[in-house]
Structure 1
Amino acid sequence: MQNLSRPEPLSAKDKGSFAFDTVNRRMPMILTRVIDSTSKLASKLTEKNDNVKADNVKEIISKLSGLKYEMETNKPLKILNDDEDDVKMWNEYLQETKSLVPGKDLAFYTGAWLLCECYMYRRIYQAFTSSSMFKTHDPFSDQKRESFFSTIDSVKSLSEYIIQCSTTLGKNPDNEAIKLEFETLLQFSLWANKCDLSVSGGVVMDSQHTGMAEQLKILKTWILVDNSSEVWELLGTIDRSINHEIHIDFVLDNAGFEVFADLCLAEFLLSLNIAKTIFFHVKNIPWFVSDASAKDIEWLVAQMQQSENDYVSQLGKKWKSRFEEGSFQMKKHKYWTLAHDYSEMKTNAPELYAELSKAKLVFFKGDLNYRKLVGDRKWPHTTPFAKALWGFCPAPLCSLRTLKADVVVGLKPGQDREAEAKDKQWMVNGTHAVIQYQHSL
């Protein structure tokens, strides 16, 4: 791979692109929302005469406002100056990375889009973690929780579905029936990504998932690449009658309904003895507005246990037990919140690469993970998925992604033109999707 050349990264210098729109509009919008919510927190603390905390929050606001000014005026990206354990890797990356515009400093409008987005979220985190009283504050938690409540009807329906499905198949484990249910749950996990707050600017869209089960047949026609059967070829060979040690990993994306759907798919895999353990790789800091952290999942399970719906509460209690006894496990690693793409993991995080290599299968969820898998570059759409991975394949992997960025690979000739004829915004509005699988390179 090193002897070949990769295309240039996507960037904000390409006017008219989604990257340009994101840097110019969505990123400032998200940052403004963080500043506004933090200002409201300061006001509440002042009203309570908690002036010490209020002053601490005002210092955070000042740092966030400074970041917004740097972004709007295209100032060079500053090195990080907090005490977190990823600072060295971040600063080395910033110092080694070149501007995409010759003769210009590395800045928001001259750097690679992936780098600039990740950098903004890392700087937001720095503003909080550098404070004395709000080091662990998540400025996106209210939005993530509101998003979950807006999809509660779908949560109830899918809870009933997964419990009944697992019970029925457990009594009558017909292979063809298991395959069909697996592919259905795979689609739930795929399309749940439509609720992505980093794309909507942090605005919760109500009732996006109500009646989704009935829509799956229609939605299936919008899947550009569907390797579901290949994924099942891998999992269908597992001997479910024996006590094996197989584990499957999920590199998670969004909190709320999406991670709920991921947990449902994981529950199916465990209840049918396709896997003994499921590892969930979460973000260790607030990330891309809606990305799932350990706290988000713990909150989700707690909410489910308190539900008045029997199926939801039953599932919540079951998942609490799974996390306690270890068949569900959450994993954290700083690599997931760096700007590096995954082809660099083996060099920069060999211990994480080695951990993933032990999995029977690794699911990579969502748009950002897809961008990091293929380097967020200007690949021709017909580029084979294997080539775009650029050497990254620690274990068989499956990317479940609805398209929300100007990058996609693995399409057949002419397939992009057909998609554009149906929808001019097909690459960025989440209407199209891919289920792409790679066994090895």
Structure 2
Amino acid sequence: TGAPARVTLHLGHLPGKTNISVPYPRSPSRVDPNNPPWPAFRGYHRYSFAHATMGVRLPTILGKAIDDASRTLNEQSSEDLIVDLANCLERMDQLMVDLSGNAKLRPIIDDDEADVALWNKEIAKYFQGKDFMNAPWLFAEAYKYRRLHECFSVSKYWKDYDVFYRQKCDTFSRSAEAVFELSMRFAEPFKHSENLSDAERLEADRLMFLELTQVCLWGNSTDLSLLINMTEEQIKSLQSTGGDHLAATEKNILGNHLNRLWETVKSTREKTGGRIDFVLDNAGFELYCDCVYADFLIQSGLAKEIRFHG
């Protein structure tokens, strides 16, 4: 037999290069939690942070939580507490099965929490039939933590149990060097040197504000959920608050609006001061940085009131 005849592909039905239109961002009428303005990363997107989160980070975090609850179970002597916590562990094991097996997102069990109806309404309306890997990863991750909360909130004796408490304490204890470094640098109340002009005082305020804003920002670099296997040396490196370290890491800020932030805060002070709100995320070193930052804002007069939201 001879070689096959040459085949010519006709691509005339494809749109021309100049006619290709991008359907993003979606118009407001087409936006919903499952379809944000721009395409959402989902767990099945390999080589993405979403894939690493759903496939590695969350199972690892949940596994450590199960280990923690098991350790607590072995410390109990009361039969009622043991049975109740064992049931919590069974629910955690089922969550691990669902997460590892990529189960569909089921409704949240009514545990008398205020958000149950909202969660179930969103799941029914926008995520019906979605699973851990094909729902937008941000929603899927939040859903996983809500399910973890449910494991204990439906119990009798362990509603307020924190499976991350030991990890928080351990990481904070290993942050002692960074805490000491920061506390020594700001041990004295903030005040200007004598004989400074108004312009020099303002510049001193600006430099201190920018430095502490970065300290506060990078305080989140040792988030337990992001770095699940940190060594003590890694913690020390990430938590360094020295000026040289901050200058070197400033280039890593993707959207750097520090100077605009300074102008906003400065104008607030010029208008008789105001309130600055902190939305708290993590405990430990990050919270300590927030407190140092808030203390400076009050002492410098950049704010008259600080309100923390936990």
TM-score over 0.5 for the pair: yes
1:201 equivalent in alignment to 2:225:
no
Query: Which residue pairs with 2:213 in the alignment?
Result: 186
Change (3 A) 1:198 1:143: same
Query: Which residue pairs with 1:333 in the alignment?
Result: none
C-alpha displacement at 1:201, in angstroms? 2.7
> Within 2, Cα distance between the matches of 1:119 and 1:207?
32
Query: Which residue pairs with 2:291 in the alignment?
Result: 263
Change (3 A) 1:43 1:217: same
C-alpha displacement at 1:160, in angstroms? 2.5
Change (3 A) 1:239 1:9: closer
1:228 equivalent in alignment to 2:258:
yes
> Within 2, Cα distance between the matches of 1:238 and 1:163?
26
Query: Which residue pairs with 2:24 in the alignment?
Result: none
> Within 1, Cα distance between the matches of 2:210 and 2:150?
41
1:19 equivalent in alignment to 2:50:
yes
Q: What secondary structure sits across from 1:275 in the alignment?
A: coil
CA-to-aligned-CA distance 1:387-419 (integer Å, 9 cap, x gap): xxxxxxxxxxxxxxxxxxxxxxxxxxxxxxxxx
C-alpha displacement at 1:279, in angstroms? 1.5
Letter in 2 for 1:85: A
Letter in 1 for 2:107: I
TM-score (norm 1): 0.58
CA-to-aligned-CA distance 1:420-441 (integer Å, 9 cap, x gap): xxxxxxxxxxxxxxxxxxxxxx
8 Å CA contact 2:181–2:241 kept in 1: the answer is no
CA-to-aligned-CA distance 1:282-333 (integer Å, 9 cap, x gap): 1xxxxxxxxxxxxxxxxxxxxxxxxxxxxxxxxxxxxxxxxxxxxxxxxxxx
- Structure 2 residue runs of 5 or longer lacking an equivalent are 1-26, 32-36
8 Å CA contact 1:38–1:139 kept in 2: the answer is yes
Q: What secondary structure sits across from 2:303 in the alignment?
A: coil
> Within 1, Cα distance between the matches of 2:231 and 2:61?
13
Change (3 A) 1:270 1:193: same
1:84 equivalent in alignment to 2:110:
no
C-alpha displacement at 1:210, in angstroms? 5.8
8 Å CA contact 1:143–1:204 kept in 2: the answer is no
Q: What secondary structure sits across from 1:236 in the alignment?
A: helix
1:129 equivalent in alignment to 2:153:
yes
Query: Which residue pairs with 2:23 in the alignment?
Result: none
Query: Which residue pairs with 1:119 in the alignment?
Result: 143
Query: Which residue pairs with 1:63 in the alignment?
Result: 91
Superposed counterparts of 1:413-424, under 5 Å: none
Change (3 A) 1:230 1:72: same
Change (3 A) 1:68 1:178: same
Query: Which residue pairs with 2:65 in the alignment?
Result: 34
> Within 1, Cα distance between the matches of 2:97 and 2:238?
37
Q: What secondary structure sits across from 2:147 in the alignment?
A: helix
Q: 1:141 aligns with which of 161, 165, 168?
A: 165
Q: What secondary structure sits across from 2:307 in the alignment?
A: strand
> Within 1, Cα distance between the matches of 2:287 and 2:91?
31
8 Å CA contact 2:273–2:302 kept in 1: the answer is no
CA-to-aligned-CA distance 1:229-274 (integer Å, 9 cap, x gap): 111111122446x8x4611111222211112111111111111121
Change (3 A) 1:204 1:277: farther
TM-score (norm 2): 0.81
Letter in 2 for 1:177: A
1:159 equivalent in alignment to 2:201:
no
Q: What secondary structure sits across from 1:153 in the alignment?
A: helix
| Moved >6 Å (runs of 4+) | 169-173
8 Å CA contact 2:42–2:137 kept in 1: the answer is yes
Superposed counterparts of 1:90-101, under 5 Å: 90-98=119-127
Q: What secondary structure sits across from 2:157 in the alignment?
A: coil
Change (3 A) 1:27 1:227: same
More off after superposition, 270-279 vs 5-14: 5-14
More off after superposition, 254-263 vs 183-192: 254-263
C-alpha displacement at 1:217, in angstroms? 1.7
Letter in 2 for 1:33: K
> Within 1, Cα distance between the matches of 2:239 and 2:38?
40
Higher CA-based Rg: 2
> Within 1, Cα distance between the matches of 2:194 and 2:127?
55
8 Å CA contact 2:275–2:305 kept in 1: the answer is yes
Query: Which residue pairs with 1:176 in the alignment?
Result: 203
> Within 1, Cα distance between the matches of 2:239 and 2:40?
37
> Within 2, Cα distance between the matches of 1:171 and 1:125?
57
Change (3 A) 1:37 1:204: farther
8 Å CA contact 2:222–2:239 kept in 1: the answer is no
C-alpha displacement at 1:216, in angstroms? 1.3
C-alpha displacement at 1:83, in angstroms? 1.2
Q: How many residues align?
A: 272
CA-to-aligned-CA distance 1:190-223 (integer Å, 9 cap, x gap): 1111101101236565423564314112112333
- Structure 1 residue runs of 5 or longer lacking an equivalent are 100-104, 283-441
> Within 1, Cα distance between the matches of 2:62 and 2:190?
43
Percentage of identical aligned residues: 28
